[in-house]
Chain A
Amino acid sequence: MQEFFYMDGKWMYIWGSYAITLAALVLSILFANRRKRKLIREIEDSLEE
């Protein structure tokens, strides 16, 4: 298992690029979700007045 992560010496590049890609994809989804919650809160506030 250990040598799987080692990727014969090039682990930094492989896992680096996978980490960056998956981070970017997941963050896009989280930001979209965060914006949705923020929008709904804004609309709720505006409805209260």
Chain B
Amino acid sequence: MEHSHAALATVHAVSYLRFIVLFPLLGVLFNIFAGPRVGRRAINLVSPGVVLLSFFFSFAALLQLPPGGALVDTVYTWITAGRLQVDFALRVDPLSATMILIVTGVGFLIHVYSTGYMAHDEDVARYFAYLNLFTASMLLLVLGDNLLLLFVGWEGVGLCSYLLIGFWYTDDEKASAGKKAFIVNRIGDAGFLLGIFLLFWSLGAKGVWTLSFAEIQTHAGLLAVETVTVICLLLFVGATGKSAQIPLYVWLPDAMAGPTPVSALIHAATMVTAGIYMIARLHFLYSMAPTALAVVAIVGALTAFFAATIALVQTDIKRVLAYSTVSQLGYMFLGLGVGAYSAGVFHLMTHAFFKALLFLGAGSVIHAMSDEQDIRRMGGLKTKMPITYGTFLVACLAIAGFPGLSGFFSKDLILEETVASPHGSVVLWLIGTLTAGLTAFYMFRLLFVTFWGETRAPHEVAHHIHESPTVMTMPLVLLAVLSFIGGYFTLVPFLAPVFGGHHPAHVSALVKYLPTVAGLAGIGLAYQMYVRDPAMAERVAQRYAAVYRLLLNKYYVDELYDRFVVQPVVAASQWLWRVWDTVIIDGTVNGTAQTVAANGLLLRLWQTGNVQVYALSFLLGAMVILGYYLW
């Protein structure tokens, strides 16, 4: 378990960090204005090119990073209002260095892949504009030197995911998936905002008016534990929204409506990891609030298990991977929740590699199967798409935690820390291990059903299945290599200056090896059910029909949300508008006007036209006045 207060890093002011964010933005401008006119070839060159440039600059920053220190590039003061002073400043320290390398590295590969994947889509300029904008926002998120800039990136990526999910906007269903993603994210962001406010004012109450990470870290001690707990929980709400944890994960499975490379980049490698990065960045707050950490761990573990169970029965290739991502994110939160911040970030990195690979592999399969996504109509692709199959196999082994590959190192590190760290507990470890088994099972189920056996695809689809072009397979291979060797770049020493020193956890052998055994068991079971005895899956499905249907319908969570959240809100607003606004408020307004007019009609009758009536009213008036005086 790291002790949280590392010595304050020595800071070097530099001025080139801004270009890391600027290059993708230039790409965006190029695509918007020059894109439609300049033709596909230029776009395919420029868009990945800008991301590559950012990658080189990030790498340069990594090299120039002083040991245990940080690079800060203050561009200009953004907002000054009263006591709030926010600068547009970028910071690179070991944590953000890892993140920008992942984002630009994996991002670049995915950009290259996309040029192939979107080869015959005519709206490619708009696609790459969004993709570049996403990269820029993600880089801003991880490079932001204060909480507000992080939030700017946070919402920026939310916007890009909305745009990219709804990229093929002509289909209503895809457009509403994008809308759903944005709104659920916005709910999370609302919590995030509240966290920022509470942090700002509680620090302010102590006379410290700031939002920048460094100052927060130095003055964190001033805050009461209860306030810090509430702050951490609020920020965690934002994290659940962005990183798709219970209860705000519902948008991720629907986000598969977007193009596959988008899912690979946004919904596997980078955006969904924003929540983890945020908690890692504010680790000093979370370690001050044990209850908050416990909540993070529990939610993480539960989500991991919950999502894994759903993934068991999904038939759409991308949905399986989506739930797998939710589950793996659960693992990362579990890691963070037990105080093993570097383990969590390490798993984040390895996950980025193999999950991106899985998605791109799935993309190339869908591409080959002329947009067929249901695995029950696939099969036997092993021979026809060797490279995709090979890389897919490596990724499956990695995610299943097969010893030697990256997944094994990062996942097991988390599970070990769950037991060893004071914040951890054996129950969480048990859930983690069980989920490891489930993960292995559904990954290899996917592998066997899609690649092994004979093709169940209809004839005209089957006969022109072919391996994807090199521009798509080359990223697959690279990612496979990364997934393979990723495990050996254990980030723990590299991240030590950020999270404080770390002494390796020594645990019993059982704890160390049981997860691997569970993984292998999962693979075996999958092999048995889908290769040795294909009918077995059917039999199991019949025997536990109720459970099967429950899992297939994703525990009916979407329907519940719709019934208990969306419908009541819409009904309430209909009522508010129809009844409250028009009848009650407008009614009173028009009512007063009518009553005055009614009195007018009444008074008008006073003019009967008869002189003597007038004389009478005259007399009455006179008598009243006289009466007043005689008393």
A interacts with B: no
B→A interface (CB under 8 Å)? none
A→B interface (CB under 8 Å)? none
